Amino acid sequence: MKPGHALLALLIAAVWGFNFVVIRAGLEDLPPLLLVVLRFVVAVLPLPFLARPAVPWPRMLAIGMTLFTGQFALLFTGMAVGMPPGLASVTLQAQAFFTMLIAAVVLHERPRPRQLVGILIAFAGLVAISTTVGSSGVTTAGLLLTLAAAASWGIGNVLLRGVGKVDMLALIVWLSLIPPVPMLGLALAMDGPAALLHALAVTGWVGYGAVLYIGVVSTLVGYGLWGFLLKRYTTITVAPFALLAPIFGAVSAALVYGESFGPGRFVGMALILVGLAVVALPRWRVR
């Protein structure tokens, strides 16, 4: 990979990692489901300028409801009820293991021994993190909702395998058309119209700035540039850079919010990242 493109891949990882800090800031002003709605309302704005990918609507709906609606509704709610941003950025990477397990059941793809080892290492990390529930802002509900978000992402990943080669940015924008309506309905049912209107009225520049960052920078710019790299290099060359996103997320959370990582949590996060590397990277890169 050219040095300039490698720096671009690092920038994308940093943008996606810092996204968790921005989500935390947005949740201080906006209810989680309303934040999901606003994120995708912003992300869908370029839709008139992008042709719809040649993907059947039933599959589009299934992907949109799992990869976007389910993942982010569960993640944002989990962070709102007790999941710090740095820890969330790492725990969410369990999606890679859920993807592999779901593919094994649905697509009959047998995991290789090295992948099974990676799963076991990451599972040990989740067990270590679970021992820290009740300390430093981590709740059982927050941890379980974040894992459910990872599972929803994993289902969406498996569904994505059937779309073929499509324009990444166009696919992301058209998928963003799906979450706002069901999420708005659920937000109205759970929070009520008065609470949502009040939140929109009192939210300041930090809250709306978070919406723009999540919707424009993280979603449109991030995935657009990621698609740019994937068109020029093999997946095995580009994909490992995504492993840096949770590292950027943990570091930025520590710098911005002073999030601390005790021994149990630090070991758990490290084991998840090691397990992810064992699963995702070629053997020579693991060494």
The pLDDT tens digits for 105-149 are 887 878 788 878 888 888 888 888 877 776 677 899 999 999 999
Question: What pTM value is reported for the model?
Answer: 0.88
**How far is CA 7 from its chain centroid?**
21
At 269 the pLDDT is 82
At 286 the pLDDT is 45
CB hemisphere CA count around 126 (13 angstroms): 20
**Which residue carries 């920038």 as its tokens?**
11
At 217 the pLDDT is 95
30: its two tokens: 């906006």
38: its two tokens: 């606003």
d(CA 59, CA 67): 11
3-state secondary structure 6-60: HHHHHHHHHHHHHHHHHHHHHHCCCCHHHHHHHHHHHHCCCHHHCCCCCCCHHHH
pLDDT of 285 higher than 60: no
Domain ranges across the chain: 3-281
In percent, the amount of the chain with pLDDT more than 90 equals: 52
pLDDT averaged over every residue in the chain: 88
CA distance readout (Å), 143 to 85, 92, 127, 155: 12, 10, 11, 19
d(CA 171, CA 64): 10
Give the mean pLDDT of 254-276. Answer: 84
Give the mean pLDDT of 151-180. Answer: 90
d(CA 102, CA 98): 6
Give the mean pLDDT of 95-107. Answer: 84
DSSP H helices, 57-192, are 57-63, 71-82, 85-91, 95-106, 113-130, 140-160, 168-175, 180-191
d(CA 27, CA 155): 26
Name residues whose C-beta falls within 8 Å of residue 64's C-beta, 6 or more positions apart in sequence: 175, 176, 177, 178, 179
Residue 86: exposure state from Cβ atoms within 10 A (0-12, 13-18, ≥19): buried
Higher pLDDT, 137 or 159: 159
At 171 the pLDDT is 93
pLDDT of 9 higher than 80: yes
